[in-house]
Structure formats: structure tokens, C-alpha cells
């Protein structure tokens, strides 16, 4: 689903994005509700940012990537957490693109998400290459989603990937509550394994 967001594009930066888990539902400009194999998924466009709400059984997972004043958690390269009986994994990266490459990537991603039944994308009036896009799917027992946040004024595209699934048997939890997390580096740092290389790769993984 592709929509034009009824708001002007503000001069936000990729570096302003922060990540949070467990935040309350925030006001959204566009929403897509999905049922994925018994899980309720709510994709929410907040402008140049996003929120995903996932509910299955008694467990609720809320992911927010947005410009959040006062947040102490900048967008990380990678996070792994336990949420109830689920394993939550998040990865992000920032791509720096030339103007021509940026326009081509924007068209590719918007076409992919607009044509996908589980996709939601929003563009801004007067800024066709400024967009936020989200795509979700159930895959091998996990709920997965990818998001893209475009900043054409900087030539930057922020790509994120999330996987949530039932925790499998493994080593005993560390003392102190059983929750573990790793935020190993800012998303702008060089990475050896990108969150997504292209729209084609995203489609291949999700479908």
C-alpha cells in the first residue's frame, strides 16, 4: 500500500533516529493492520519514522524507530533481546548513495512495497524520494519486517531488519532476569553484513 503522508517533510537526519522497545502506541499518519499466522501486526508510519506493534497470545512487542527527544538509545547496529518466550533481533545500517543511485533505489523500494499485500509506504508532498516504507511477513515460524527511511537531502537510506520468534532451547539465561541485549555500534558504522542489500533481496527473504 502506497500513500501520500499529509504532512510536510521536515529536514530530519538519519543521525537523529533512535531505537526503542516497549514504547506505547504513538500517533501515526498511516496504519496497516495484518494477521500473520495467528499474530496481529500493526505497521505504523510516524512520518520519517516507524512503529511496529506485534501481538500473539499474551506477549506484546513494540518497536519504535523515530526521532525521540531525550532518547538515550541511538539507532544501533544490532540488538538481541528476549521478550517473554520470544527472541527479538534487530539490525540497522545507513547507506550513503549518489543522487542518481538514490533515485533508482527509491523507485525500486516503493514499487516493491506498494505492490506487496503486507507492505506500507508513505511519501511526502513535493518530495517523491523522501519516504518511509515497511514490509512484514511470517517466515519459518518467525514474524519478520524490514523498514526503509529515506533522507534525500543527505543521500542516506536507513534500512532496518527485525525478526521475532519463539525462543528455542539453548544455554541457560544469565543471572539477573533473563533478558539480554547487544547494541554493538551505531548504525552509521561500517558493517560486514548489511541489513538489506536491495529490494530484490528483501523480497526474496520475506516471500
- pLDDT surpasses 50 at 192: no
* Per-residue pLDDT reduced to its tens digit, 98-138: 988 999 999 999 999 998 999 999 888 777 788 899 999 99
Contacts of residue 81, defined as CB under 8 A and 6 or more positions apart, other chains included, come to 21, 87, 88, 179, 180, 181
The whole-angstrom separation of Cα 195 and Cα 207 is 16
Cell of 37: 499466522
Helix (H, G, I), strand (E, B) or coil at 57: coil
Query: What's this model's pTM, rounded to 2 decimal places?
Result: 0.79
Q: Are 134 and 147 contacting, i.e. CB atoms less than 8 angstroms apart? A: yes
Query: What is residue 125's predicted lDDT score, i.e. its pLDDT?
Result: 78
The whole-angstrom separation of Cα 6 and Cα 124 is 7
Query: What is residue 65's predicted lDDT score, i.e. its pLDDT?
Result: 93
* Per-residue pLDDT reduced to its tens digit, 81-103: 998 888 999 999 999 999 889 99
Q: Which has more confidence, 51 or 184?
A: 51
* Rg of the chain over all Cα atoms, to the nearest angstrom: 16
pLDDT band at residue 171, thresholds of 50, 70 and 90? very low
Query: What is residue 85's predicted lDDT score, i.e. its pLDDT?
Result: 83
Amino acid at each position: 500500500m502506497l500513500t501520500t503522508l499529509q504532512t510536510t517533510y521536515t529536514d530530519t537526519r538519519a543521525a537523529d533516529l533512535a531505537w526503542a522497545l516497549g514504547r506505547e502506541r504513538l500517533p501515526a499518519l498511516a496504519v496497516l493492520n495484518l494477521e500473520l499466522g495467528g499474530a496481529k501486526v500493526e505497521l505504523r508510519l510516524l512520518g520519517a519514522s516507524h512503529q511496529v506493534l506485534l501481538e500473539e497470545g499474551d506477549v506484546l512487542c513494540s518497536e519504535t524507530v523515530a526521532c525521540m527527544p531525550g532518547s538515550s538509545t541511538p539507532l544501533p547496529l544490532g540488538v538481541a533481546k528476549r521478550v517473554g518466550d520470544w527472541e527479538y533481533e534487530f539490525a540497522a545500517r545507513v547507506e550513503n548513495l549518489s543522487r542518481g543511485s538514490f533515485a533508482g533505489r527509491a523507485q525500486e523500494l516503493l514499487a516493491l512495497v506498494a505492490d506487496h499485500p503486507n507492505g506500507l509506504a508513505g511519501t511526502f508532498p513535493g518530495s517523491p524520494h523522501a519516504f518511509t516504507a515497511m514490509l512484514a511477513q511470517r517466515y519459518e515460524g518467525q514474524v519478520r519486517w524490514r523498514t526503509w527511511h529515506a533522507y534525500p537531502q543527505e543521500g542516506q537510506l536507513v534500512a532496518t531488519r527485525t525478526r521475532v520468534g519463539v525462543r528455542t532451547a539453548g544455554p541457560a539465561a544469565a543471572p539477573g532476569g533473563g533478558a539480554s541485549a547487544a547494541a554493538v555500534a551505531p548504525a552509521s558504522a561500517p558493517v560486514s553484513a548489511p541489513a538489506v542489500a536491495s529490494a530484490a533481496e528483501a523480497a526474496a527473504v520475506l516471500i
